[in-house]
Structure 1
Amino acid sequence: MKRRNFFKQGVKSVLGVSLLPVVGNLTAKTDDIERDSDPFWADEEFKGKAGKLARKKTLDFEVVVIGGGMAGICAAVSSARLGNKTVLIQDRPVLGGNASSEIRVTVNGVQSLKNKHVVERETGILEEILIENWYYNEQESYPVWDHVLYDFVKRQDNLTLMLNIQAFDVVMNDNKIKSAICRQTTTETEFTINASIFIDASGDGLLAKMSGAEYRIGREGKAEFNESYAPDQPDNWVMGDCIMMITKDVGRPIKFKPPRYAIPFDAATAFKDKHRKIKQIKEGFWWVEIGSNTDIIGEREEIKHKLLANFYGVWDHIKNSGEFPEAENIALDWIGSVPGRRESRRFMGDYILTQPDMEEYRHFEDTVAYGGWSLDEHCPGGIENLTEPASYFHSRFKQVYEIPFRCLYSKNIDNLMMAGRNASVSHMALSSSRIIATCALMGQAVGTASAFCLKYGATPRQVGQKYINELQEQLLRDDSYLPNRPANDQLDKARAVSVIFGSSTLSGDVKNLINGVGRAEVDKINHWQSNGLNAELQLEWKNKQSLTSVELKFDTNLQRKMMMHKNPAKNKGQVIGVPPELVKNFSVEVRIAGQWQEVGKVEENLTRLVKVNFNEVKTTAVRVKLKDTYGDPNIKVFEIRCY
């Protein structure tokens, strides 16, 4: 085995480690001294030969997730929920990545579809987080959002969170990663983190790069994938970084003087032919963007300075040109210091998702996620190229497209998976799939897949080839949605009921609750809705069933947006708070010896998917008593399962 050297080793070097689960307690090693004390918070300092601090620790996990954005959070939580000993590594002091308070990009997802639904909101772990945020953070505070994410991750069993730590190197064994070498800036500590499975959801993918995983940067030419929107010839351009801002009305005229490094804004060129527009002055302008045709990662600090300089030039024009009188009382309240990144490395899997795959809505037997943001190609030069439009087009979809599992693991590194904007897609496909909520779905998919890697001692590729049906069934059970792939879990005893009925029906059919589709589809009804509150569902079997769990999927109106915005004006059409359709209080009963016994009760429910677990019982009937909602006068349910 060898540790990969950041500066000397080439991309062709490769890795290796057993995929069998790592066992044993966490141990810390400092200068070859092995200690049983807590590996994270030990107070002792050990001196190196030169008198310098030399804190070095070794930690053992089963799954390592690199990157604490929404993709990484969903990957880590899904892995931990399925029993994997998981660590989430984030190089910033807060979680959320582009969606955090440091950058403040909206958690957009599938919207603006050209069909009746328009919106097909993402469910699963991401939706749990968004609902929880509205419950605790109706004021739409980004710093509070940071701590909603922090609490969501910290309370998860089997999951360790490490902040302010970057994986900068790897230890390899053949074509597998054995260890991630990490440094935590706040503790001056170097960690060697061993695991069986590694998930790079960091965006730029430094760990994946150091492993030797094959990747691409830039735009493919039109001919390679027959992509009509691609350039005629391939090049190195990537979509740019940008910064956000938020303003406030101070109630009196407020002047603005730009910093000395501000770059004057050429408004005449920028606004010619409507290439750029200033529609509002509440939040940032996404077109204050700078890309690169050489090395967007290596140029990050230079790009940040240019972004700030250009932004202050734009704001100076707004405040001092006289063309925006509505800005007289408006002052800058926050401006980002960390650029949000759209694109850098894309790591290659066994399949590369392309523009034709999306536009033709190709079905994949190994689908594990979906997308639907429009194809959205930005001007390569960004604000440094004012003669061209900031965004060339928004090519909208009629329906969601599928994302296959083969795009989410490395083609040449056996135990590496990817999730987010570094997945295996073409540049043109990335213009859609890069959207945060779509990245989160990929995260839940690979986090779930890691459990099957460990269960079967398999590589991600082997999971895709041999166990894809199990992976898809688990994703569906955990409230992911897979287009053209209804659930068919043979372990779900609700599918074998003799009778299922509800106390009343306003719309839908109670039998829809076991049809394998847990949400509304265009022109398809997959729900049962009661006429009024205090409704009941009942399932009957001819023979006794051994049960330990009843699982339900409720209504949260997936055709309505739910994200938090920097600009409250964008909340039009949304609900500020928990979805009123969501069931709030309910209980589960089983019939034993002719008597109903309560085995579970849920109050102040905050999730669409609820798994009610209880000690094993033998019964011929289950009854769910649905008391009320967060405001809707009727109760709607999409699925019930029994295990």
Structure 2
Amino acid sequence: MKRRKFFKSTFKGALGATIFPLMGNSDSVDSSKSSPKNSVTSNNKFNPKEQWHQMGTGKKARPDRRKTLEYDVVIVGGGAAGMCAAVSASRNGAKVALIQDRPVLGGNSSSEIRVHLNGVNHLKDGKPERETGIIEEILLHNRFHNPQDSYPVWDHVLYDFVTKEKNLDLYLNTSALRAEMKGDLIESVYCWQLTTETEYTFKGKQFIDCSGDGLLGATAGAFYRTGREASSEFNEKYAPKEADGWQMGSTILLGSKNMGKPMPFEAPHFTKKYEADKSHKGRKLMPFELGFWWVELGSDDDIIGEFEDNKHALMGYAYGVWDYLKNSGKYPETENYALDWVSSLPGKRESRRFIGDYILSEPDLLNNVNFDDAVAYGGWSLDEHNPGGMLNLEEPPSYFHEKFDEVYQIPFRSLYSINVPNLLFAGRNISQTHIALSSSRIMATCALEGQAVGTAAALCIQKGVKPRKLGEKYINELQEQLLRDDAFIPNRPSNDKLDLVQKSNVMFASSTKSGNVKLLRDGVSRDFQDKEHHWESEELPATVQIEWDQKQSISKIEVKCDTNVKKNIMLRRDSLNNKTYSTEIPKELLKSLEAEVRVKGKWVKVASIEKNKTRLVKFDFDKIEITAIRIHLKETYGASSAKLFEVRAYS
């Protein structure tokens, strides 16, 4: 029965719809006692044109919920890429709007979907080359504030991290519906905020599409492509012989819990039977607690338009796999387990890929091409999922074509539109082929792209140029700013001419266990490709001292310490602790340190931190003329010695 008919035909429905007034505590209602004045049809004061009547205020017109706001940088999409873009743009001086169509940040890593925020942790030797910069700050923030590994708390860790930025305004539950153009430039983006019934128009100078599906860019007329390229187009050995429309699918994850007693399971009506006898051996059912990344559906057509249909099908497939585990009789270890969580929002992998001045392709990755305009890096394997997903059980769920020996570079030219001059993008929608996407789509890689385009957008505002011109004329400044902000660009050492430590005459330390104190100014802020770029003390406390022959005017000291980038610290649903993964605050991280400067022969303390939480430690103080700086390293979060990778000083 339809809901409206239900209300009309039942007494409880009448109460629920507030048709009759309730009389005290009586269980019955005498409709004959209703006042004729309560009849809408007899109320001469009622005006059908009045859509809103707020009692006690006299307001009768519906409030006009339309707002037009102006920003320097407008970012659509609040996943890993969008968050890092927003934070980096705001820290570099731009006024930023971050627009997210969900109630939480995090994209595929959020509590709604719960995908592990992987990055470069799939190299051939098994060792990570973990991302630093803003994404590492976020992961460290989580380690300090979410030791229980809760995904709902992770949502709020992200909210806390993003909203503390002074130049950044966050708009949740807000969908970007279309770009509004002025010539070939985006002038504004028209949005709808579901929870407040408010229409927003966000005007901006630079726009960044980190939404994945890329509706902002698409409605702006930005060129894009979907599907798989032919192998001949980019000389890709893992691409199909002929181009087709296949795009990697979306997945529904689930989680189960041991209840300590038998837990029977009855499949809901929408369940789709899992045909285990037809399934490739790569579709492993053990372990089962965290669900299965291969319960996915792709498309060779309109994967965005088909999303809701695919979602309903995926719900059936997910429950079908669980029904098989519980009721086939082949997995008695599931007897005491019950479903604890099932996602209602499939995690996406692929749809639109915009066209930039350069299209990143498989040979660029496999040949480790060095780009003059490199701004980010990746290294997850070429992980091309089975196009048919659950409709193609006979083939492996993913092909894992090849792992990398080392990380590859991502050029800035792949992060802005070829035909919409003020549009940048980061995430799975960047300018790349389907095969390149199979690696670079990993969230921490997308986050590095996000920091790059956020920084670029802020520099575009400062320089009064568009992204293409920034890349042509100011790429060195962009790269130097990223390196200063603790992003890492492989094979691109920093050479910041504003860094006064580069001009120092003497550097020494209280003791040395490994490395060399002079490596603190070599421009590489991690040990890389088996080469040392650090100094490590024998014990704690320890001191590093830097001196100049001539007086220097400084107000900033920046230190990059150790967080062990060879170990992953992302949130995992299984709270895994082993040689590769950790749920702990890195013991190598400096907890307590202070800075002194020498003024007229005397040492003066200018700054100290007692509970440091980041790899990049910044000391800011009033400008002062000095001849030396001294950094005292007092305590880590558990290591008996301290390791530094870089020290900088600025006027």
* TM-score, scaled to structure 2: 0.90
Given candidates 232, 237, 243, the residue that maps to 2:246 is 237
1:570/1:386 CA distance change after superposition, 3 Å: farther
TM-aligned CA deviation for residue 136 of structure 1: 0.7
Confirm or deny that 1:331 pairs with 2:338: yes
Given candidates 354, 361, 370, the residue that maps to 2:368 is 361
1:205/1:530 CA distance change after superposition, 3 Å: same
Counterpart code for 2:137: E
Partner of 2:275: 266
Is the Cα contact below 8 Å between 2:127 and 2:580 reproduced in 1? no
1:16-165 alignment runs, 5 A limit:
54-115=64-125, 118-165=127-174
- 3-state SS, counterpart of residue 121 of structure 1: coil
Is the Cα contact below 8 Å between 1:371 and 1:432 reproduced in 2? yes
1:163-182 alignment runs, 5 A limit:
163-182=172-191
* In structure 2, distance between residues paired with 1:218 and 1:478: 36
Confirm or deny that 1:565 pairs with 2:575: no
- 3-state SS, counterpart of residue 334 of structure 1: strand
Counterpart code for 2:501: A
Is the Cα contact below 8 Å between 2:593 and 2:635 reproduced in 1? yes
1:385/1:57 CA distance change after superposition, 3 Å: same
1:473/1:124 CA distance change after superposition, 3 Å: same
Is the Cα contact below 8 Å between 2:377 and 2:448 reproduced in 1? yes
Which string of whole-angstrom CA distances, capped at 9 and with x for unpartnered residues, describes residues 480-505 of structure 1? 11111000000000011110111000
Is the Cα contact below 8 Å between 1:46 and 1:55 reproduced in 2? no
Counterpart code for 1:442: E
Given candidates 513, 516, 523, the residue that maps to 2:523 is 516
Q: Which runs of 5+ in 2 are unaligned?
A: 1-56
Greater CA deviation, 512-521 or 385-394?
Answer: 385-394
* In structure 2, distance between residues paired with 1:127 and 1:583: 15
Partner of 1:470: 477
* In structure 1, distance between residues paired with 2:327 and 2:502: 67
Is the Cα contact below 8 Å between 1:565 and 1:571 reproduced in 2? no
Counterpart code for 2:325: I
Counterpart code for 2:520: L
1:533/1:410 CA distance change after superposition, 3 Å: same
* In structure 2, distance between residues paired with 1:331 and 1:551: 50
Partner of 1:380: 387
1:461-540 alignment runs, 5 A limit:
461-540=468-547
Which string of whole-angstrom CA distances, capped at 9 and with x for unpartnered residues, describes residues 75-97 of structure 1? 00000001100010000000000
Which string of whole-angstrom CA distances, capped at 9 and with x for unpartnered residues, describes residues 78-123 of structure 1? 00001100010000000000110000010000023124x7210000
Which string of whole-angstrom CA distances, capped at 9 and with x for unpartnered residues, describes residues 425-447 of structure 1? 10000000000000000000000
1:120/1:562 CA distance change after superposition, 3 Å: same
TM-aligned CA deviation for residue 46 of structure 1: 8.8
Partner of 2:206: 197
Partner of 1:436: 443
* In structure 1, distance between residues paired with 2:443 and 2:119: 7
- 3-state SS, counterpart of residue 438 of structure 1: helix
Counterpart code for 1:238: Q
Confirm or deny that 1:459 pairs with 2:470: no
1:422-433 alignment runs, 5 A limit:
422-433=429-440
Counterpart code for 1:553: K
Which string of whole-angstrom CA distances, capped at 9 and with x for unpartnered residues, describes residues 442-465 of structure 1? 000000001110111100000000
Given candidates 279, 288, 301, the residue that maps to 2:295 is 288
Partner of 1:639: 646
Confirm or deny that 1:314 pairs with 2:321: yes
* In structure 2, distance between residues paired with 1:194 and 1:569: 44
* In structure 1, distance between residues paired with 2:236 and 2:534: 39
Counterpart code for 1:611: K
* In structure 2, distance between residues paired with 1:158 and 1:255: 53
TM-aligned CA deviation for residue 593 of structure 1: 1.6
* In structure 1, distance between residues paired with 2:58 and 2:244: 50
TM-aligned CA deviation for residue 175 of structure 1: 1.2
Partner of 2:311: 304
Which string of whole-angstrom CA distances, capped at 9 and with x for unpartnered residues, describes residues 156-205 of structure 1? 11000010001101211111101110110001000111110000000001
Counterpart code for 1:545: Q
Confirm or deny that 1:404 pairs with 2:414: no
- 3-state SS, counterpart of residue 446 of structure 1: helix
* In structure 1, distance between residues paired with 2:285 and 2:578: 19
- 3-state SS, counterpart of residue 365 of structure 2: helix
Greater CA deviation, 567-576 or 260-269?
Answer: 567-576
* In structure 2, distance between residues paired with 1:538 and 1:168: 55
Partner of 2:257: 248
Confirm or deny that 1:351 pairs with 2:358: yes
Partner of 2:347: 340
Counterpart code for 1:157: K
1:218/1:255 CA distance change after superposition, 3 Å: same
* In structure 2, distance between residues paired with 1:131 and 1:56: 39
* In structure 2, distance between residues paired with 1:497 and 1:429: 43
- 3-state SS, counterpart of residue 84 of structure 2: helix
* In structure 2, distance between residues paired with 1:238 and 1:406: 23
Which string of whole-angstrom CA distances, capped at 9 and with x for unpartnered residues, describes residues 49-82 of structure 1? xx66541111010000100001000000000001
Counterpart code for 1:106: H
* In structure 1, distance between residues paired with 2:143 and 2:333: 31
- 3-state SS, counterpart of residue 556 of structure 2: strand
* In structure 2, distance between residues paired with 1:392 and 1:106: 20
* In structure 2, distance between residues paired with 1:571 and 1:175: 52
- 3-state SS, counterpart of residue 246 of structure 1: strand
Which string of whole-angstrom CA distances, capped at 9 and with x for unpartnered residues, describes residues 559-592 of structure 1? 1111111123465643322100000000011111
TM-aligned CA deviation for residue 263 of structure 1: 0.6
Greater CA deviation, 565-574 or 262-271?
Answer: 565-574
Q: Which runs of 5+ in 1 are unaligned?
A: 1-43
* In structure 2, distance between residues paired with 1:539 and 1:45: 71
Greater CA deviation, 162-171 or 336-345?
Answer: 162-171
Given candidates 389, 401, 413, the residue that maps to 2:396 is 389
TM-aligned CA deviation for residue 470 of structure 1: 0.3
* In structure 2, distance between residues paired with 1:533 and 1:575: 24
TM-aligned CA deviation for residue 261 of structure 1: 1.0
Is the Cα contact below 8 Å between 1:243 and 1:307 reproduced in 2? yes
* In structure 2, distance between residues paired with 1:588 and 1:575: 30
Given candidates 425, 441, 447, the residue that maps to 1:418 is 425
* In structure 2, distance between residues paired with 1:75 and 1:526: 28
Is the Cα contact below 8 Å between 1:46 and 1:54 reproduced in 2? no
Is the Cα contact below 8 Å between 2:71 and 2:202 reproduced in 1? yes
How many residue pairs match? The answer is 594
Counterpart code for 1:93: P
Is the Cα contact below 8 Å between 2:373 and 2:471 reproduced in 1? yes
Partner of 2:600: 593
* TM-score, scaled to structure 1: 0.91
Partner of 2:636: 629
- 3-state SS, counterpart of residue 387 of structure 1: coil
Which string of whole-angstrom CA distances, capped at 9 and with x for unpartnered residues, describes residues 347-406 of structure 1? 010000000000000000000000000001111110111121111234100100000000
